[in-house]
């Protein structure tokens, strides 16, 4: 077979020929003239049409071999033949015949007939290298005629309503496809200048493109305006009123596509093959070996293997398949030496860790993931066992470790650019193809580093140096130096940990189960030890030593708060009480509208911790200066309180996030109370395993300072009493009602059935912002419109559920604008895709099913109630909870 290598493009070393490479190369085949496929190569093989289109887009001098379709061309001992690809006009596949073997490179292609491209032609080949942009079964395009009909209907109805229909499609290929269809429908079409230039070249080959006009501001009435996608949101588009916009892309099949592209409509018109045509293409070629590129390369290769084909993914984040999956006789050579990438590495090596993560990400079954992870944990020395478990949860430090890296996307981006020695424009080109920081890192670092062996302890040292470094310049330099010593795969996992998400389908609970299996320890004991210690690495070490039962809650090591299950009504809450509680009577207390906090009091020290375990003592110094008579840990709520005026969470927000010392601001502007509702430790004795009735009795017996009060509680046993208590809480302007089992133990971090929260009917959700865009009018210069998501508890994936732009002050919007600009992953028109690290509490009237968002739900009349700086993205609401509030089945 013909040898294939990959380094930012497929490479045939026997011919010294690159296939659509990312970087400038001595000799390259260019499949078509889209900007992401052309380059200033020394010698190029391409069609006549592609050469002319490329000259218009990328002027320059190069040696060109302009080949006709289906005519063999001798090249370095081989025969090269170009075959029509059906993608755009002039696009070609490359058939290579060498020493009795054959290889077909598809480039971008489609099997469906188009109105502005040559129909595809194929030949059998031993090796097939194919693009798999839409390589998942969900991507099935409707018939092109149907899509064109919907686009035409959209245009006609918009014109009839007196507005201008604006269609966004690539200026080369898709624009001409749409233009040919609209010409047949006798719709007048006006072209953006960039589309106009490409269309003039096209017209010399496709005479169907007979009627089109270049844009003039006074010439849009009754016309369709055809533009490239990047002009959406510009002043040109904003100046056209009234208007309706539509994006033309295969990604329109994804829920919420119109919203993501900031358009009124989205139509699935694509010049790529959909999933059924990808499968059919392989069946037509009948190769012995398939190598997949782009999009869902790994997933499609796995699919082909299940169908009986030998298939492997090339490039992007799939480099691992070179080293551990492909048979030795397949003649596929990795472009980067993988001596530090083999699974046989020294135990405790970071390369072994990243390859384990890759294998876990490819595994779909829970039991298989646990088996892989347990076997790996058993092999590790103690120091590496501790670190591996922490890293597997996507963290650099354990929850109990108060250190924070303070490394955002801005630092990561600059470090990647420095490491790879890239121009800003080149980095933007790479980043524009991905919405994932790790994939951006992989593509940026591939072939640009000088890797050496690293143990897990070396990686921990990198994180410790980053944490102690002062200022973004120092952190950027340190991170760049570190990345330079890592492989692209290992570097991408460092970035995953820095951004707090491995994204391999491994939830914290699976790590706990794997520890239990690896150490032959009871799972409940592992979970309890982890909850109490806040350190999953320490938990793994204790499990190995058989010392899990020695774990206790201790002062100044905060634990995750015990959580409650939400219920929408008193009736639903009481039904759960009858089913889950150990006793007939229940405790009820008001749900306060503040921030959850733990108060840790020692003999000469007092600290306050937020629900995400941050030390917030400096924000509430009045609580740390009080005299206390016992060592204790209190769980409670900090609320804004003034006997002379009613204060709310909005007032309390003014106290949050302050980094100044206590002498630089006046705490009297927003006085507070600590409402204690649980006692976790008293005079060095842990109470978390004691029943709530005892904990409450001890709490009520304490003599507490005036600013620390015990929350009022009542014991009830009848359903009507619960409803009455709920209505009383609402009249008192409380956020809701808490219902607790008197016999319940305190379970840190768990949302068991022992506590229930009953909130007002106008509910709220805690969501994380995943995107922002600039507003209008006086807010046109700030990011004031926020797209947010909830988490799917089954998959861990963030899924969009709405967008809100009201509820914040101008000062808060300015602050968030600065934050999001520093943490932007990429921009699509006016839309900023941001690192999901900021939590909002969003109120709404109702939740309704909707295909507009990936969650399948939409909030009705959402408005921002609060910025929840006290919460992390791991504490946001779930899709399943939102579905339950909407009265739908949690499983969808």
Q: List, by residue number, the catalytic residues.
A: 591
Residue whose structure tokens are 């047949």 = 184
242 upstream amide cis, omega within 30 of 0 = yes
Contact call for residues 798 and 768 (beta carbons, < 8 A): yes
- Rounded to whole angstroms, the Cα distance separating 741 from 718 reads 14
What does residue 653 show for φ and ψ, rounded to 5 degrees? -55, -30
Nearest to 92 by CA among 106, 103, 78: 106
DSSP H helical ranges for 566-672: 570-580, 621-624, 649-653
- What is the separation, in whole angstroms, between the first and last Cα of the chain? 48
Relative orientation angle of helices 409-420 and 437-445, to the nearest 10 degrees: 10
- Rounded to whole angstroms, the Cα distance separating 479 from 466 reads 7
- Rounded to whole angstroms, the Cα distance separating 304 from 310 reads 7
Ramachandran class of 733: left when φ > 0, alpha when ψ lies in -120 to 50, beta otherwise = left
Contact call for residues 687 and 746 (beta carbons, < 8 A): yes
CB atoms within 10 A of CB 655: 19
Half-sphere exposure of 620 (CA within 13 A, CB side): 29
Grouping H, G, I as helix, E, B as strand and the rest as coil, residue 45 is strand
What does residue 505 show for φ and ψ, rounded to 5 degrees? 75, 30
Structural tokens at position 472: 């973004």
- Rounded to whole angstroms, the Cα distance separating 791 from 876 reads 7
Grouping H, G, I as helix, E, B as strand and the rest as coil, residue 410 is helix
The radius of gyration of the chain's CA atoms, rounded to the nearest angstrom, is 30
- Rounded to whole angstroms, the Cα distance separating 498 from 93 reads 41
Q: Using CA atoms in the order 861, 866, 871, 873, what is the torsion angle rounded to 10 degrees?
A: 30
Q: How far is CA 471 from CA 61, 404, 478, 820, in A?
A: 45, 13, 11, 19
Grouping H, G, I as helix, E, B as strand and the rest as coil, residue 718 is coil
Structural tokens at position 471: 């200022």
Grouping H, G, I as helix, E, B as strand and the rest as coil, residue 698 is helix
Helix (DSSP H) and strand (DSSP E) numbers for the chain: 28, 40
Half-sphere exposure of 260 (CA within 13 A, CB side): 23
- Rounded to whole angstroms, the Cα distance separating 343 from 358 reads 11
| H, E, C per residue of 327-352 | CHHHCEEECCCCCCCCCCCCCCEHHH
- Rounded to whole angstroms, the Cα distance separating 457 from 478 reads 17
Half-sphere exposure of 368 (CA within 13 A, CB side): 10
Q: Cβ-count burial of 784 within 10 angstroms (0-12 exposed, 13-18 middle, 19+ buried)?
A: buried
- Rounded to whole angstroms, the Cα distance separating 121 from 125 reads 13
- In 742-791, beta strands by DSSP E: 755-759, 764-774, 783-791
Grouping H, G, I as helix, E, B as strand and the rest as coil, residue 144 is helix
């Amino acid at each position: 077979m013909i040898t294939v290598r990959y380094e930012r493009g497929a490479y045939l070393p026997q011919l010294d020929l690159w296939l659509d490479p990312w970087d400038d190369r001595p000799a390259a085949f260019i499949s078509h003239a889209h900007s992401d496929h052309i380059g200033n190569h020394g010698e190029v093989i391409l069609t006549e049409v592609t050469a002319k289109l490329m000259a218009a887009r990328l002027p320059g001098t190069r040696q060109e071999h302009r080949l006709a379709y289906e005519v063999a061309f001798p090249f370095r001992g081989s025969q090269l033949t170009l075959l029509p690809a059906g993608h755009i006009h002039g696009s070609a596949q490359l058939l290579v015949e060498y020493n009795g073997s054959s290889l077909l490179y598809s480039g971008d292609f489609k099997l469906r007939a188009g109105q502005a491209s040559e129909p595809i032609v194929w030949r059998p080949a031993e090796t097939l290298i194919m693009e798999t942009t839409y390589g998942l079964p969900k991507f099935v395009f409707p018939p092109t005629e149907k899509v064109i009909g919907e686009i035409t209907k959209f245009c006609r109805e918009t014109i009839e309503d007196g507005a201008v229909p604006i269609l966004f499609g690539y200026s080369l290929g898709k624009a001409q496809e749409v233009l040919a269809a609209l010409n047949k429908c006798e719709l007048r079409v006006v072209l953006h200048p960039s589309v106009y230039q490409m269309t003039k070249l096209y017209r010399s080959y496709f005479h169907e493109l007979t009627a089109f006009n270049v844009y003039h501001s006074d010439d849009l009435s009754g016309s369709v305006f055809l533009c490239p996608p990047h002009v959406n949101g510009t002043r040109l588009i904003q100046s056209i009123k009234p208007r309706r916009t539509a994006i033309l892309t295969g990604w329109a099949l994804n829920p919420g596509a119109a919203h993501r592209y900031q358009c009124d409509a989205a139509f699935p018109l694509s010049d790529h093959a959909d999933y059924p045509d990808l499968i059919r293409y392989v069946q037509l070629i009948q190769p012995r070996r398939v190598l997949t590129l782009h999009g869902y390369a790994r997933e499609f290769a796995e699919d082909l293997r299940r169908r009986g084909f030998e298939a492997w993914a090339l490039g992007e984040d799939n480099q691992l398949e070179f080293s551990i999956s492909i048979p030795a006789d397949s003649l596929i050579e990795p472009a980067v030496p993988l001596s530090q990438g083999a699974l046989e590495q020294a135990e405790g090596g970071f390369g072994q860790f990243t390859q384990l993560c890759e294998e876990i990400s490819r595994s779909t079954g829970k039991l298989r993931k646990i088996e892989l992870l347990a076997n790996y944990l058993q092999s590790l020395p103690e120091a590496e066992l501790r670190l591996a478990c922490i890293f597997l949860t996507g963290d650099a430090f354990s929850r109990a470790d108060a250190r924070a890296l303070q490394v955002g996307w801005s630092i990561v981006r600059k470090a990647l650019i420095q490491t790879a020695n890239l121009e800003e424009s080149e980095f933007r080109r790479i980043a524009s193809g991905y919405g994932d920081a790790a994939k951006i890192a992989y593509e940026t670092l591939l072939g640009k580093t000088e890797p050496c062996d690293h143990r897990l302890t070396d990686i921990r040292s990198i994180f410790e140096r980053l944490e102690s470094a002062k200022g973004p310049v120092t952190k950027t330099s340190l991170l760049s130096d570190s990345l330079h010593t890592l492989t692209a795969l290992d570097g991408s996992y460092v970035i995953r940990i820095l951004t707090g998400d491995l994204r391999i389908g491994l939830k914290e609970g699976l790590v706990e189960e794997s520890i239990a299996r690896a150490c032959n320890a009871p799972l409940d004991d592992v979970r309890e030890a982890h909850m109490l210690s806040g350190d999953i690495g320490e938990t793994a070490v204790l499990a190995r030593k058989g010392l899990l039962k020695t774990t206790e809650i201790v002062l100044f090591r905060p634990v995750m708060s015990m959580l409650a299950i939400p219920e929408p009504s008193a009736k639903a809450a009481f039904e759960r009480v009858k089913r889950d509680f150990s006793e007939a009577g229940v405790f009820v207390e008001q749900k306060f509208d503040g921030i959850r906090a733990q108060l840790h009091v020692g003999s000469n020290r007092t600290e306050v911790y937020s629900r995400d375990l941050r030390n917030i003592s400096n924000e509430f110094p009045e609580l740390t200066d009080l005299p206390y008579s016992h060592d204790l840990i209190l769980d409670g709520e900090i609320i804004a309180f003034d006997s002379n005026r009613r204060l709310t969470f909005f007032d309390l927000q003014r106290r949050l996030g302050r980094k100044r010392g206590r002498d630089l601001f006046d705490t009297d502007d927003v006085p507070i109370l600590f409402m204690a509702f649980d006692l976790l430790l008293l005079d060095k004795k842990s109470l978390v395993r004691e029943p709530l009735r005892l904990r409450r009795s001890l709490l009520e017996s304490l003599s507490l300072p005036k600013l620390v009060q015990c929350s009022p509680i009542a014991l009830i046993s009848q359903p009507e009493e619960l409803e009455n208590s709920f209505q009383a809480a609402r009249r008192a302007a409380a956020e809701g009602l808490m219902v607790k089992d008197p016999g319940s133990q305190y379970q840190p971090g768990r949302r068991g059935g022992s506590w229930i929260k009953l909130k007002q009917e106008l509910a709220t959700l805690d969501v994380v912002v995943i995107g922002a865009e600039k507003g209008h009018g006086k807010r046109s210069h700030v990011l004031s419109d926020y797209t947010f998501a909830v988490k799917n508890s089954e998959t861990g994936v963030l899924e969009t559920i709405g967008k809100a732009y009201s509820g914040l002050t101008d000062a808060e919007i300015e602050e968030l604008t600065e934050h999001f600009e520093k943490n932007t992953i990429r921009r699509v028109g006016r839309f900023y895709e941001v690192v999901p690290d900021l939590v909002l509490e969003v109120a709404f009237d109702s939740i309704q099913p909707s295909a507009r968002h990936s969650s399948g739900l939409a909030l009705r009349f959402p408005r921002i109630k609060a910025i929840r700086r006290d919460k992390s993205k791991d504490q946001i609401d779930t899709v399943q909870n939102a579905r339950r509030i909407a009265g739908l089945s949690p499983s969808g």
